[in-house]
Amino acid sequence: MIVENQQKEDMIVYQVEIEDDGSSIKELLRKKLNTSSRLLSKLKRDESILVNDEYKKYHELVKEGDIIKIIMEEEPSGFKGEDLPFNIVYEDVDLIIVNKDTGIVTHPTKSHPEGTVANAAQHYLNKNGIYCKIRFVNRLDMDTSGLLMIAKNPYAHHVLSEQMQRDQVEKKYIAFVEGIIEKDFGIINAPIHRPTFESIKRVVDCKGQPSLTKYKVLKRYSKATMIEVQLITGRTHQIRVHMEDIGHPLIADSLYGTTSNLIDRQALHASYLKLSQPRYGKTVEIIGNLPEDLIELQMKLDS
C-alpha cells in the first residue's frame, strides 16, 4: 500500500502487502503502480529503487512489510521562470491543474519563446522550492482557455497519459457556436483528417482518425447557442472541426468559421476534468470557471 505521509514529488513509498509477498520488485511496480518500462529502466540505471533503505535490483523478491522507495530525482526543466498569471485550481504531490487564460501558449515555441504557461509554471516551482521537470499531460490552443494538467514527475506523466490514450479522462468544454442548434443533445461521429503534414486545419474525411463528440444545449440565443461538449476521443481541433462540419462553427473561430465583433478569439473553454489520481487512484473532479471574456460574451448575446 502507498504510505501516504511519506510521499514527495520525486519519491513514492510503498509498503509490501501480504498479497505481494514473494513478488519481484519489477512485478510489484508494474502490477500495483503501473510503472512504465522507460521509468523502470531509468530507475535501474540510476540505482534508485530502495528496499528498507538499501539499493536492490528490480528482479529481487520482496516480503510483506518491506518498504519500497522509488526515487525519481531529475534535473528541472530549463525554462526561464516568469511571474505570469498561473491560476492553480488543483495541486497534489503528482499534479498541478491550472485554469489557463486565453492568448497564452502552453509551451515555448520559435514564435513564442517566452510568456508561456511553462514559464509561469517554472516561476511557481522555483518560488516554492519544487524541483521537477514540467510535463504537460494535455495541451490547449493559444486562444482556448481552461483546464491544463502538468505532471510533476515521470511516473504521474505516464499514468495520466495512459488514461488520456484510453479515453479514461472525462473532458468537457463550454462553447458558443453560431446559429441555433435545434436538438437538445447530439453525437457527432465523424473521422478527422490532416490533409497534409503542413496543414494546420483539419477536415472531416473518411481517411481520418475515428472521432466522437457529444454535446448538449445549455442555452439558445437569438443567433447563437451555448453548449457543453464532451470529448470521447481527443483529436487536434476536434470540437472546432466537428461543430463546423454540422454547420455551427464556434463564434469568432477564424480558422473554421469567421471573425466576430463580439469576441476576439474562438469561444471555447475547457471547463471540466475527471480523472484518477496517479498514485492513490482517487477520483479527481475539477471545474474551471469561465473567463471574463466569455462572461462578457454571454451578456452581449443576452442583450
Write out pLDDT tens, residues 79-136: 999 999 999 999 999 999 999 999 999 988 888 889 999 999 999 999 999 988 999 9
**pLDDT tens figures, 208-224:** 999 999 999 999 999 99
The residues pairing with 97 across neighbouring beta strands, listed in sequence order, are 90, 149
- At 283, the amino acid letter reads T
Q: How many Å apart are CA 30 and CA 23, to the nearest integer?
A: 11
Q: In this predicted structure, what is the pLDDT of residue 292?
A: 96
- Options 92, 101, 141, 245, the catalytic residue: 141
Establish whether 141 is a catalytic residue: yes
Q: In this predicted structure, what is the pLDDT of residue 37?
A: 82
Cell of 156: 504521474
Q: Model-level pTM greater than 0.85?
A: yes
Arithmetic mean of pLDDT, 236-261: 95
Q: How many CB atoms lie within 10 A of CB 302?
A: 9
Pairing of the two strands 88-91 and 135-136: unpaired
8 secondary structure, DSSP code? B
Is the CB of residue 9 less than 8 Å from the CB of residue 153?
yes
CA 76 to chain centre: 20
44 band by pLDDT with thresholds 50, 70 and 90: confident
**pLDDT tens figures, 256-270:** 999 999 999 999 999
Length of the chain as a residue count = 303
CA 150 to chain centre: 7
